[in-house]
Chains A and B, each alone.
Chain A
Amino acid sequence: MTTTEKPDYKVVGTRPIRPDGVEKVTGKALYGADINLPGLVHGAVLRSPHAHARIVSIDTSAAQAMPGVLAVVTHADLPVVSDKALDMGEGISTASDMSKNVLAADKVLYRGHAVAGVAATNVHDALSALEAIKVEYEVLPPVLNVQDAMREDAPLLDDSRHTKTPTGDLSDNASNIAAHTRFEGGDVEAAFAAADIVVEREFDTKMVHQGYIEPHNGTANWNSDGTLTVWTSTQGAFAVRSALSELLKLPVSRIRVIPMEIGGGFGGKIGLYLEPIAAILSRKSGRPVQLTMDRTDVFQATGPTSGGHMKGKIAVKDGKITAAEVSLAFEAGAFPGSPVGAGAMCMLSPYEVENFKVDAFDVVVNKPKVAAYRAPGAPNASFCVEQLIDELARESGADPLQFRLSNSAREGSRMITGVAHPRIGHEETVQAVQSSDHYQSPIEGPNRGRGVASGFWFNAGMQSSVIASVNPDGTVNLIEGSTDIGGTRASLAMQLAETLGIEYERIRPTVADTDSVGHNDVTGGSRTTYASGQAVYEAGLDVQQQMVSRAAKLWECETEDVEYVDGSLRHKSDSEKTITFAELAGKQMETGGPLQGRGTVMARTPGAAFGVHLVDVEVDTETGKVEILRYTIAQDVGTAVHPSYVEGQMQGGVVQGIGWALNEEYYYGEDGRMENSSFLDYRMPTSLDLPMIDTIIVEVPNPGHPFGVRGVGEVPIVPPLAAIANAINDATGHRFTELPISPRRVVEELHNLQ
């Protein structure tokens, strides 16, 4: 549904075949692990068997002497680096933390923490060599959840770490709480005292993994001239380049990162894991070195996103939300940097809340350092807030959608950060669900229930740059630097075609390496179609202007007399004089030489995304299995450039949320061992677990983008956790406050009620 009159686009809004499609359905596309190079050797990484231990000594001499072994690397081979903050685009870490995460220094902080790397003539020899590395550990007690980690007598991961408090000062005592942030506004106590209804609950979630199908990989070639080339599957080649520059103390100009196709990321393929190890192994061995992870490594040492503990209290008076008090404590993993702040800033944003007090704690625990995961922090925090909202609607006797509508944020409403919403589409999105066939059809039958939830995500802007080179045959090579993780070659090519008024098929997009295009921030924050799209638009306008000048030259008139309309140049007052884009493209030599447009942006007006989800479930009270009967998602996408890939983002996000709600969790033993580090035991949804996911595309154009684009990728994972819990509550009368709502938990909690 479109809520405002949309311009008559020719390409935007159509569903062409993606430019990289044929390569991907025929197996010809090259992902990170597919690259082969002359002289390539393989490597393997030794990982900690302990969740928390001091490294007393590492002896690699026996491994080094083994047949086939070419090089061994430990943390001692990495340069000493500073505490400089590295902004990777979605999540900030310090160089020293990142270096210690790549290869453990004096301590291992989680099971699976990398300790040493080996390069050998084949991967089997490298794996054998790992067994010959002798590491002496002094095992320490692990802390495995935020409650334990926050206790004053908790074992400390780093005894030099003090809490950064809301005032900006550091705490007196060392602590596992890396940071405490507070958002406050209005008069919370007075609002609670005056309220008609107050609900208050505590919630718990577990770590979950992004679950991309392609394991991490990194291939490096340290050339004898001191330059480094890296091939990797990453969401951001430039982020890899700058982080490698810090960790290896090499100028960025000596590092070339070649982005390979990427087999999923969802935020988890931004940080560095293997690339620095491969680089040092290559320097030491003089050979290009490839490292890949197996699935256990991926689970134990990469990703995940935080679990945590949350406590929320919300008040209503006269049907309006008047106050909210929420405390969130999120696991950061082994090093600071959980998305708790983002969660805190998102969870109340669909609503107008005048009085609030929100505390956010970033807590280190002996688990892998968390990475961004699709709207990082927001799904957990919304699991808390959107269940409280559901409860308030019920207690008010209001329809849950109508309750959300009457409390909805709109243009000008302030978020808890104090920032006012620009034009947003939460109300339109709620209304789209209200009028859907799904909502209009009653749900019937025993143990069945219906739930709804709203979700918000900021979306990111940041830096993009592209080049558009016009070919003499009237096609255009679009050189961009944004990893294409799910169809952005198409969405960017479409925006250039729209800008130039030519057919989509004439645009040939290429994702270039870091030597071949200007800086591009990561494909993350739902920013690529928005921000790189804006750069593409700028490049298109640049081409238009140059073509206008060239037509003026051909016609020996002023540029003011020439206009660019629908892919043609026209003389404004002489209708005989027209030339098409393709014809003029063929006259480059006689009109001034090669024609190249460029676009660079620092995009600052991403336009927030809202989604409202509606789900019907059936709960088998004997087995505890929750079946998703029907699912509808409505989302304000601004303008859908390629509706099929917009729907795909919505459906994919929902299904990750369904997995998070019902099955997925990092399951730890008391010793800190993750006990389900395989796809068999860490059970992600399969095709058999799901119905079709119905999508309603709501289009409230973003005034900050030439085609009205908003980011779409992340917000669809925000509401499912709460929407499903609300539906299960509707079906069973019991509110589940701990994730995942797995069969075991359903049976246990329903049994305990009896």
Chain B
Amino acid sequence: MPTRRTHIQTNLNGEEVDFLCEPRQSLLEVLREELGLTGTKEGCNNGNCGACSVIMNGRVVNSCCVLGVEAEGAEVTTIEGVAEGEALHPLQQCFLEEAALQCGVCTPGFIIASKALLDSEPSPDEGRIRHWLAGNLCRCTGYDKIVRAVLKASDMEEVSA
């Protein structure tokens, strides 16, 4: 017998959505398998790599460590909700310009985590960025260009603010 599924309503990337999920399903699994939002990646499924980062009620969380049912009534932002239509978020633009991605699989998590940082602290210094992003693993870049991209985006945000 399939496990009984629960009806969940949540605000996802600014839209009210509802879905059915089993109690054992993580938010990551729900996003990817039930809602087709595969931009959020699985790297370890136990909270150590940050590839599945999403913003939930204003905080960065590893969606592999959140249950789908916990999204009831929450506000969730995934990588699919960062750009506004065709207009890239300054972080996305700076990641491109600074070549801050190689394989790109950790990139959604880094952009989400960086966005949460800039949303609350518009002009972090290098040390703060390195500290904030320590929960996101990248194996390709050595982080140099990622940190530079976030610094550049914070400059752009200041200019536009």
Q: Which A residues fall within an 8 A CB radius of B?
A: 15, 17-18, 20-22, 24-31, 33-34, 36, 67, 124, 210-215, 261-266, 292, 294-295, 485-487, 642, 644-645, 647-649, 651-656, 678-680, 684-688, 690, 692-693
8 interchain pairs, CB-CB under 8 A: A21-B101, A27-B78, A213-B137, A261-B104, A263-B41, A649-B102, A652-B140, A653-B142
* Neighbour of B139 across the interface among A18, A21, A266, CB < 8 A: A266
Bound CA–CA A693/B140 (angstroms): 13
Contact of B103 among A294, A485, A642 (CB under 8 A): A485
Tell me if B133 and A25 are in contact (CB < 8 A). no
Min C-beta distance of B19 to chain A, whole Å: 15
Given known contacts A295-B43, A688-B131, is B104 in contact with A29 (CB within 8 Å)?
Answer: yes
Q: Which residue of B lies closest to A214 (CB)?
A: B105
Which chain A residues lie closer than 8 Å to B126 at the CB level?
A: 692
Cβ of A25 and Cβ of B107 under 8 Å apart? yes
Q: Which of B43, B83, B130, B140 contacts A215 (CB 8 A)?
A: B43
Q: B138, A213: Cβ atoms under 8 Å?
A: yes
User: How many angstroms from the CA of A680 to the CA of B48 in the assembled complex?
Assistant: 6
Contact of A295 among B44, B130, B133, B136 (CB under 8 A): B44
Tell me, yes or no, whether B10 is within 8 Å of chain A by CB: no
Q: Whole-angstrom distance between the alpha carbons of A266 and B45 in the complex?
A: 21
B44 partner residues in chain A, CB cutoff 8 A: 294-295, 678-679
Q: With the chains together, A655 CA to B146 CA distance in Å?
A: 13
- Expressed in whole angstroms, the minimum distance between the Cβ of B91 and any Cβ of chain A is 8
Query: In this complex, what residue of B is CB-closest to A29?
Result: B104
A645 to B24, CA, bound (A): 41
Chain B: minimal CB distance from A680 (Å):
5
For A686, give its contact among B80, B96, B107, B134 (CB under 8 Å).
B134
Contacts of A22 in B (CB 8 A): 88, 92, 96
**Cβ distance A492 to chain B, nearest Cβ, rounded Å:** 15
Chain A residues with CB below 8 A from B43, complex form: 213-215, 263, 295, 679
B residues near A28, Cβ cutoff 8 Å: 39, 80
Pairwise interchain contact B38-A30, C-beta atoms closer than 8 A? yes
Partner of B145, one of A24, A266, A651: A651
Q: Is the CB of B137 within 8 A of A679?
A: yes
Alpha-carbon separation in the docked complex, A21 to B138 (Å): 17
Answer yes or no: B99 CB below 8 A from chain A CBs.
Answer: yes
A154-B105 Cα distance, complex, nearest whole Å: 43
Q: Which residue of chain B has its CB nearest to the CB of A643?
A: B99
Q: A27-B80, A214-B105, A692-B147 are in contact. Are A684 and B139 (CB under 8 A)?
A: yes
Instruction: Assess whether A26 is in contact with B105, with CB atoms less than 8 Å apart.
Output: no
How many interface residues does chain B have, given as a range?
35 or more
Q: Is the CB of B143 within 8 A of A690?
A: yes
Which of B's residues lie within 8 Å of A, judged by CB? 1, 22, 24, 32, 36-46, 48-49, 51, 78-80, 82-83, 88, 92, 95-99, 101-108, 111, 126, 129-131, 133-148
Name the B residues within 8 Å of A688 (CB-CB).
Answer: 130-131, 133-134
Contact B38–A34 (Cβ < 8 Å): yes
Query: Which residue of the partner chain A has the closest CB to B3?
Result: A124
Selected contact of A24 from candidates B46, B101, B133, B136, CB within 8 Å: B101
Nearest-neighbor residue (CB-CB) of B29 within chain A: A123
Most chain A CB within a 10 A radius of its CB, from B44, B102, B107, B137: B102
Cβ contacts under 8 Å, A15 to chain B? 99
CB distance from B107 to the nearest CB of A (A): 6
Q: Complex: how many Å from CA A265 to CA B140?
A: 9
A213 CB contacts on chain B under 8 angstroms: 41, 43, 49, 51, 103, 105-106, 137-139
- Seed contacts A27-B39, A31-B38; 11 additional CB < 8 Å A-B pairs: A27-B38, A124-B22, A212-B139, A213-B103, A295-B45, A647-B99, A649-B102, A684-B137, A686-B134, A688-B131, A690-B130
How far, in Å, is B61 (CB) from chain A's closest CB?
A: 17
The contact of B83 among A26, A211, A265, by CB within 8 Å, is: A26
Task: Determine whether the beta carbon of B103 is less than 8 Å from that of A262.
Answer: yes
Q: Tell me the bound Cα distance from A20 to B96 in angstroms.
A: 10
Contact yes or no, A26 B92, CB < 8 A: yes
State the majority secondary structure of interface residues on B. Answer: loop
Inter-subunit contact A67/B1 (CB<8 Å): yes
CB pair A486 B143 closer than 8 Å: no
Cross-chain contact A692 with B144 (CB below 8 angstroms): yes
Whose C-beta in chain A lies nearest to the C-beta of B93?
A25
Closest beta carbon of chain A to B106's beta carbon, Å: 5
Q: Are B130 and A687 in contact (CB under 8 A)?
A: yes
**In the complex, which residues of chain B have a beta carbon less than 8 angstroms from the beta carbon of A214?**
41, 43, 51, 103, 105
**In the complex the two chains form, is B48's CB within 8 Å of A24's CB?**
no
| Residue from A22, A36, A215, A687 with most neighbouring chain B CB atoms (10 Å) | A687
- A210 — which chain B residues lie within 8 A by C-beta? 139
Residues of B within 8 A of A647 (CB): 99, 144-145
Contacts of B137 in A (CB 8 A): 213, 679, 684, 686
Minimum Cβ distance to chain B for residue A276 (Å)? 23
Task: Out of A24, A486, A684, A690, name the residue touching B107 (CB < 8 Å).
Answer: A24
Which of B41, B96, B104 neighbours the largest number of chain A CB atoms within 10 Å of its CB?
Answer: B104
Given A30-B38, A687-B129: A654 in contact with B99 (beta carbons within 8 A): no
CA distance A17 to B96 in the complex (A): 6
**Complex: A686 Cα to B44 Cα, angstroms:** 15
User: How close is B28's CB to chain A, nearest CB, in angstroms?
Assistant: 11
CB contacts (< 8 Å) of B42 on chain A: these are: 33, 215, 292
- Give bound CA distance, A25 to B126, whole Å: 21
**Most central of B40, B49, B126 by chain A CB within 10 Å:** B49
Chain A nearest CB: distance from B30 CB in Å?
13
A678 CB contacts on chain B under 8 angstroms? 44, 46, 48
The interface residues of chain A lying within 8 Å CB-to-CB of B82 are 26
Shortest distance in angstroms between B134's beta carbon and chain A's nearest beta carbon?
Answer: 4
Question: Which residue from chain A places its CB closest to the CB of B36 in the assembled complex?
Answer: A36
Tell me which residues across on chain A come within 8 A of B139, comparing CB atoms: 210-213, 264, 266, 652, 656, 684
List chain B residues, Cβ under 8 A from A690.
130, 142-144
Contact A21-B102, Cβ < 8 Å, known A27-B78, A652-B141, A690-B143: no
Docked-complex contact A486 and B130, CB < 8 angstroms:
no
On whether the beta carbons of A648 and B141 are closer than 8 Å, the reply is yes
The distance from the CB of B92 to the nearest CB of chain A, in whole angstroms, is 4
Taking the closest CB of chain A, its distance from the CB of B62, in whole angstroms, is: 11
- Expressed in whole angstroms, the Cα–Cα distance for A43 and B10 within the complex equals 30
Point out the residues of chain B lying under 8 angstroms from A685, CB to CB. Answer: 142-143
Verify A24–B1 contact, CB threshold 8 A.
no
Assess the A652–B142 pair: CB atoms within 8 A. Answer: yes
Residue of A nearest to B139 (CB): A211
Name the distance in Å between B90's Cβ and chain A's nearest Cβ: 11
Q: Kindly state the separation between the CA atoms of A539 and B131 in the bound complex, as whole angstroms.
A: 47
Contact (A644, B38) CB under 8 Å given A26-B83, A687-B147: no
The CA-CA distance from A486 to B106 in the complex, in Å, is 13
Give B49 Cβ to nearest chain A Cβ, in Å.
5
Which residue of chain B lies nearest to A483 when distances are taken between CB atoms in the complex?
B103
B49 touches A648 (CB 8 A): no
The CA-CA distance from A292 to B82 in the complex, in Å, is: 27
Rounded to whole angstroms, the CA-CA distance of A304 and B53 in the bound complex is: 27
Residues on B with C-beta less than 8 A from A33 are 32, 38, 41-42
Given A25-B95, A648-B145, A687 contacting B103 (CB threshold 8 A): no
The answer for the CA separation of A585 and B67 in the assembled complex, in Å, is 55
Q: Is the CB of A648 within 8 A of B140?
A: yes
CA distance A688 to B127 in the complex (A): 8
In the bound complex, residues from chain A placing their C-beta under 8 Å from that of B38 are: 27, 30-31, 33-34
- The CA-CA distance from A234 to B10 in the complex, in Å, is 36
**Complex Cα spacing A212 to B37, Å:** 22
Question: Chain B residues near A211 (CB, 8 Å)?
Answer: 139
A27 to B13, CA, bound (A): 13
Minimum CB–CB distance from A446 to chain B (whole Å) comes to 23
* Chain A residue at minimal CB-CB distance from B1: A67
